[in-house]
Chains A and B, each alone.
Chain A
């Protein structure tokens, strides 16, 4: 039995890896969930076809990062997985059901004709909306803290339901919508692009407001988070994050008034990254806030070592061929009905 324990802080390495996987999931599925959120508001059916075609080759791969997030957590931090999943029982199930309705819509919508296509339009929209809202609520509950009893979740079935998590749910809906809108700007042209630009201009205001609210409420809710962010010298070290967020917002605001097609999407990624790091810093080093640390939740070092050995080789391959697929399907999406042929 080999183990890298002696020269690596394995739990820390895995924390970083799973953190990266979850962030990639948020970005990648974020834009296709966002397209689903904006879907029924597009001006014409042709716009909707284009939007759908722009994500059809990718959604499956994007969602695989969610499986890696769940599977990775199970593999590297089984205790955290075992406490968090029952804690989020209802929102996770609702998210999964939402993902089912939106996932099957891709294939069914292309096969459907006439009015039945409308059913799958709404299945796609509401599935995306519910999945996103539930992810946001899970996030809200997570940073709020989880009740733990021994090695089990110790709270009730509806612990996840409070004003703060509803707000983070709505916040994530606006966030994904912004990702979806800027993706649509990048991948379409003409009417669809004009509409997406207009959309992004509205949505970004909501995103900014919710980001501000969450950033204010989190320190007020938890004195440790307040101490972390507002004590010296942390205050100075952490300043780049809010400052960069503001810079990205201003640049996005200006870009959306120009013909720029690519930068708005990447600026939105930047905004997401700053938020994500912010949440990571606030909940450090908890994997089940504020009860179980990442070291306490870690699987046996032999298990983390075995999976790490493969990950070192496989993850770059995954990233490479994912990149290849995005490259194959570069450029603008068309609205042809059956993209297979």
Chain B
């Protein structure tokens, strides 16, 4: 029934789908956890109840997102084996310890203290609760550290040798963990996660201001978000540029695909738009700025940029996908910087909280971070193809001995399940946003109570018998 399907393509599609879906949650929760820590710190420091109310609203959104991140993340830790068992066997000695450390140093920390963050209000002191938030935020960053180290090693492998048995063995752990592209990818990703969160928070703040709801809270949300847009979005441009230069040095074929350059050129033009044709080995159409690509990559208008034809056909990534997702990411980054500049101008004119079109604009930018993060991952992961470990192992040679049928059916099952979960999650998050940061009386109860054993009669008295 499925014999005409290519198991390698299906396995790649399944992994791409589950990992791209998963990354949207950490991309948001990494930033949100850090922001919640800042908000709670402001609350403890100033005693301003607005901060507490903002925290309590967003921690619920954090809980929904984090829950979805956890369940989709568990899937990944098993997919290395179910879909890429030959890869798991060959690189296990190198990458295994990195993932092991991720679980031991990050996952347990996040999962354990999340319980206190969500349910611990009446059970631990305010300081301990703040500590739990900080620990969860640190956990998300530690987790990003290890997983990006492992991913970067697949892009720029170092500190290993290929044994006589064809398996990969570690020779230097520092070189494995701090492989050449890791520092750049780590900073670029974490900054991306922070910006993703900033634009979500800013978008919701903009929505409240636009509707005239929860105005005091909304000013704090939009203000804090725009501080990120003003300062961090331009920094991201710099980090992205450094990451690109690092890729140019270690994976020039990926940069050639990102730039849509086929022939090796001195003074290569920057193709703003083009239609790369993989078979014809040319761009069917292009709008370009002369010499700019060489200048960006080599800091010399006449510097040499190697074209895709330098490498055999079988060693080139799918060019159009890399080319377009790269433009999508950079374009959104530019819009983020522009948003920050406009916010700065409006702030100086003292009109940031009264300019309605800008609030609409911020609402439109709410998903920008998610799209940019996923697009960026497509650039770096598709750009690594046809290799799974760059220039060492080919993707097609590392697939599990599983037939196309089970992979196709499980792919369909993941699409349906994730679609349902995403719809429900988005619905409940929108409901929480609709409800806003004001806290109703009845919510003030401690749960799971030892200090307040929730007798039915007490609750009936307290809430007008809602639950009885």
Contacts of B447 in A (CB 8 A): 53, 334, 336, 338-341
| Contact stretch, chosen from A163-171, A193-201, A321-329 | A321-329
B100 within 8 A of A: yes
Q: Does B264 contact A (CB under 8 A)?
A: no
The answer to the question of A215 belonging to the interface, with a C-beta cut-off of 8 Å to chain B, is no
Which chain B residues in 41-76 approach chain A with CB under 8 Å? 56, 59-60, 63-64, 67-68, 70-75
A311 CB contacts on chain B under 8 angstroms: 100, 104
Knowing A1-B170, A1-B172, the reply to whether A74 touches B81 (Cβ < 8 A) is yes
Asked if residues B119 and A329 are in contact (CB atoms below 8 Å), the reply is yes
A15-46 interface code vs B (CB 8 A; 1 in, 0 out): 00000000000000000000000000000001
Contacts of A299 in B (CB 8 A): 92-93, 96
Pairwise interchain contact A108-B82, C-beta atoms closer than 8 A: no
Kindly state the separation between the CA atoms of A333 and B115 in the bound complex, as whole angstroms.
14
Contacting pair A74 B417 (CB below 8 A): no
Contacts known (A74-B92, A340-B63); A153 close to B401, Cβ less than 8 A: yes
A133-161: contact bitstring with B at CB < 8 Å (1 yes, 0 no)?
00000000000000001011110010000
B92 → A minimal CB distance (Å): 2
A66 to B111, CA, bound (A): 13
Q: Which residue of B lies closest to A301 (CB)?
A: B93
Query: Considering the chains assembled together, what is the distance between the CA atoms of A68 and B425 in angstroms?
Result: 26
Secondary structure class of chain A's binding surface, majority of residues: helix
| CB <8 Å contact, B454 and A336 | yes
With A64-B103, A72-B103 given, is the CB distance from A93 to B410 under 8 Å?
yes
Q: Which of B78, B105, B107, B421 interacts with A100 by CB under 8 Å?
A: B421
List chain A residues, Cβ under 8 A from B118: 56-57, 339-340
Q: Are B97 and A307 in contact (CB under 8 A)?
A: yes
Closest to A341 in B: B443
CB of A204 closer than 8 Å to a CB of B:
no
Q: Is A81 interfacial (CB-CB < 8 Å)?
A: yes
Residues of B within 8 A of A60 (CB): 67, 70, 111, 114-115
By the criterion CB–CB under 8 Å, are A341 and B74 in contact? no
Known: A83-B85, A93-B413, A103-B71. A58 touches B92 (CB 8 A): no
**B166-188 interface code vs A (CB 8 A; 1 in, 0 out):** 00011111000000000000000
Q: B93: which A residues are within 8 A, CB to CB?
A: 78, 299-300, 302-303
Asked whether A112 is an interface residue with its Cβ less than 8 Å from the other chain, the reply is yes
B396 interface residue per 8 A CB criterion: no
A86-B123 in contact given A100-B417, A302-B169 (Cβ < 8 Å): no
What are the residues of chain B within 8 A of A325 when measuring CB–CB? 112-113, 115-116
Q: Is the CB–CB distance between A85 and B82 below 8 Å?
A: yes
Decide: A74 near B99, CB < 8 A? Known: A64-B111, A107-B428, A153-B401.
yes
CB distance from A72 to the nearest CB of B (A): 6
Query: What's the nearest-Cβ distance from chain A to residue B229, in Å?
Result: 29
- How many angstroms between the C-alpha atoms of A103 and B70 in the bound complex? 8
| Contact of A227 with B by CB under 8 A | no
Can you name the residue of chain A whose Cβ is closest to the Cβ of B101? A310
| B419-447 near A? 1/0 per residue, CB < 8 Å | 00100110010011000000100011111
A79 interface residue (CB < 8 Å to B)? yes
Q: Please state if A93 and B71 are interface contacts (CB–CB under 8 Å).
A: no
In Å, the complex CA distance between A54 and B450 comes to 12
Is the Cβ of A300 less than 8 Å from the Cβ of B170?
A: yes
Distance between Cα atoms of A314 and B81 in the complex (Å)? 25
Name the contact of B56 in the complex, choosing from A61, A103, A341 (C-beta under 8 A). A341
Q: Is B403 an interface residue (CB 8 A)?
A: yes
Q: How far is the CA of A101 from the CA of B72 in the complex (A)?
A: 11
- Please state if B449 and A334 are interface contacts (CB–CB under 8 Å): yes
Contacts of A78 in B (CB 8 A): 88-89, 91-93, 96
- The smallest beta-carbon distance between A25 and chain B, in angstroms, is 11
Residues in A with CB closer than 8 Å to B59 are: 340
Contact A58 B115 (CB under 8 A): yes
Q: Are B81 and A90 in contact (CB under 8 A)?
A: no
| Residue A97 is within 8 A (CB to CB) of chain B in the complex | yes
| Residue B3, interface by CB 8 Å | no
**A245 and B75 alpha carbons, distance in the complex (Å):** 35
Using CB atoms, name the residue of chain A closest to B424.
A108
Q: Which 10 A-B pairs have the closest CB atoms?
A: A78-B92, A85-B81, A75-B96, A331-B450, A334-B454, A339-B447, A57-B115, A82-B89, A103-B71, A75-B100
**5 A-B pairs in the complex with CB atoms less than 8 angstroms apart:** A85-B82, A92-B78, A107-B428, A300-B169, A339-B447
Q: Footprint of A on B, CB under 8 Å?
A: 56, 59-60, 63-64, 67-68, 70-75, 77-78, 80-82, 85-86, 88-89, 91-97, 99-105, 107-109, 111-116, 118-121, 123-124, 169-173, 400-403, 405-406, 410, 413-414, 417, 421, 424-425, 428, 431-432, 439, 443-450, 452-454, 456, 459, 467
A residues with a Cβ closer than 8 A to B are 1, 46, 49, 53-54, 56-58, 60-61, 63-64, 66-68, 70-72, 74-79, 81-86, 88-90, 92-93, 96-97, 99-101, 103-104, 106-108, 111-112, 149, 151-154, 157, 299-300, 302-303, 306-307, 310-311, 314-315, 318, 321-322, 324-325, 328-341
| Beyond A78-B91, A85-B78, A341-B443, 20 extra complex contacts between A and B, CB < 8 Å | A49-B467, A53-B447, A56-B115, A75-B96, A75-B99, A81-B81, A82-B92, A84-B81, A85-B88, A97-B414, A100-B421, A151-B89, A302-B93, A303-B93, A329-B120, A329-B448, A334-B448, A336-B454, A339-B118, A340-B118
